[in-house]
């Protein structure tokens, strides 16, 4: 595979100990220009102690495109608090120049019907339009998730008649038992807005895997993320791939470790 390096993105989760400026510098040193910011970092804020204007200026200084803010949760259980948080995150996305906001479904074992999810999408869509931000719906493959299937997510987006896209995550694809049976015939490649990549080497049963096991790509990756990417490329996907490891071990990585892991993962994908 030969994937244009401009299609690779780095999620800030890989560098929990770095300031936003240090993170941007690291990504620039790698010859990359896309990042994802988050609202679940140690500071509890998307921009840490920086103003929106400062983050936007730093992004311009280092040539970074802020692809998303992660994430609005749980998007499919709408109440006044959810709507207020959605508006706040969308305001932030607009202010820092982020292209999209990720929407994650309820993940606590409580089921939410397709009808309620459609209603939630319809209720949120005008807010996204108001702020000029794209919506990316990310199914979570955990057994307790209320929306596990990317194919179902696309169907619900179509039913809602909203301009959102689906976010495919190779970890969550692996966790959902029916994903392989559904994917090739059911997925609309044109409506994939982003792909998250990570790797897992832990040998425990799939249903027991958690975010803690998510590292970067390797030859021993049980998710087969490289194969997942190869299939997406063959199917015509030409969007962005964002590296999103989650393990608490990442807090022990220094900048050299982070750079090495990213380079190795890209090499595996380009082989």
Q: What pLDDT, on the 0 to 100 scale, is given for residue 44?
A: 93
Could you write out the DSSP letters of every residue in 98-151? --EEEE----SS----HHHHHHHHHHHHHHHHHHT-EEEE----STT-S---HH
**Would you call 202 helix, strand, or coil by DSSP?**
coil
Burial of 17 (0-12, 13-18, 19+ CB in 10 A): middle
Give the phi and the psi of residue 149 in degrees, each rounded to 5. -105, 130
Cα separation of 70 and 65, whole Å?
15
Residue 161 and residue 118 in contact, taking contact as beta carbons nearer than 8 Å: no
| Cβ-based neighbour number of residue 30 at 10 Å | 16
179's CB contacts (< 8 A; 6+ apart) are 141, 149, 150, 173
> Which tokens in the block code for residue 185?
């015939």
Q: What pLDDT, on the 0 to 100 scale, is given for residue 271?
A: 86
Per-residue pLDDT tens for 192-223? Answer: 999 999 999 999 999 999 999 999 999 999 99
Residue 76 and residue 106 in contact, taking contact as beta carbons nearer than 8 Å: yes
Per-residue pLDDT tens for 38-75? Answer: 999 999 999 999 999 999 999 999 999 999 999 999 99
Residue 261 and residue 13 in contact, taking contact as beta carbons nearer than 8 Å: no
Q: What pLDDT, on the 0 to 100 scale, is given for residue 28?
A: 98
Burial of 31 (0-12, 13-18, 19+ CB in 10 A): exposed
Q: Which residues of the chain have pLDDT under 50?
A: none
pTM above 0.95, yes or no: yes
Q: What pLDDT, on the 0 to 100 scale, is given for residue 184?
A: 87
CATH topology for the 5-270 domain: TIM Barrel (3.20.20)
């Amino acid at each position: 595979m030969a994937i244009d390096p401009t299609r690779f993105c780095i999620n800030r989760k890989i560098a929990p100990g770095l300031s936003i400026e240090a993170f941007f510098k690291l990504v620039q040193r790698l010859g990359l220009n896309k990042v994802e910011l988050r609202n679940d970092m140690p500071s509890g804020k998307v921009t840490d102690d920086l103003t929106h204007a400062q983050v936007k200026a730093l992004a311009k200084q280092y040539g970074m495109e802020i692809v998303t803010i992660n994430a609005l949760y749980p998007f499919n259980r709408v109440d006044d608090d959810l709507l207020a948080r959605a508006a706040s995150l969308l305001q932030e996305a607009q202010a820092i120049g982020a292209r999209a906001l990720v929407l994650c479904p309820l993940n606590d074992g409580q089921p939410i019907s397709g009808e309620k999810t459609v209603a939630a999408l319809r209720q949120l869509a005008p807010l996204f339009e108001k702020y000029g931000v794209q919506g990316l719906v990310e199914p979570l493959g955990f057994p307790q998730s209320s929306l596990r299937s990317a194919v179902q997510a696309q169907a619900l987006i179509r039913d809602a008649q909203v301009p959102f896209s689906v976010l495919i995550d190779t970890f969550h694809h692996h966790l959902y038992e029916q994903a392989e049976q559904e994917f090739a015939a059911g997925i609309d490649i044109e409506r994939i807005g982003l792909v998250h990549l990570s790797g897992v080497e832990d040998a425990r049963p799939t249903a027991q895997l958690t975010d803690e096991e998510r590292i970067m790509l390797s030859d021993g990756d049980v998710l087969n993320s490289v194969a997942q990417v190869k299939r997406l490329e063959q199917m015509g996907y030409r969007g962005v791939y964002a590296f999103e490891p989650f393990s608490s071990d990442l807090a022990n990585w220094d900048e050299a470790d982070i750079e090495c892991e990213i380079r190795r993962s890209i090499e595996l994908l380009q082989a």
